[in-house]
Structure 1
Amino acid sequence: MANYCDSTYRITGDASELDTLYALMLKLEKEKENGNRVGHIVKELNGSIPEHLYVRGWWDDLDRESNCIRFHQESAWEPIYEAWDFICSKFKTLQAYFIAEEPGCEVYLKRDHPEHRWFPDNYYVDALPPKGDYLHEYFETIDEAFRYIEKISDTNIITADDVEALNLAWGEDGESYIYLHEYKEV
Structure 2
Amino acid sequence: MTRNKTISDEAVLDSLLSLILTIGPDNLTFAKAAGACGLAAATLVQRYGDRQGLVRSILLRSWDRLDADTAAADAELPVTVAGAVDLLMRLMPPELADQNASDGLLLLREDVRDPVLRARGARWARQIVEALGRRLSAEPQEAERLGWQMACIWQGAHTWLAFTQAEPFETAMRRVLEDWCRSVVPMRPAN
Greater strand percent: which structure?
A: 1
For normalisation by structure 1, the TM-score amounts to 0.29
For normalisation by structure 2, the TM-score amounts to 0.28
Greater helix percent: which structure?
A: 2
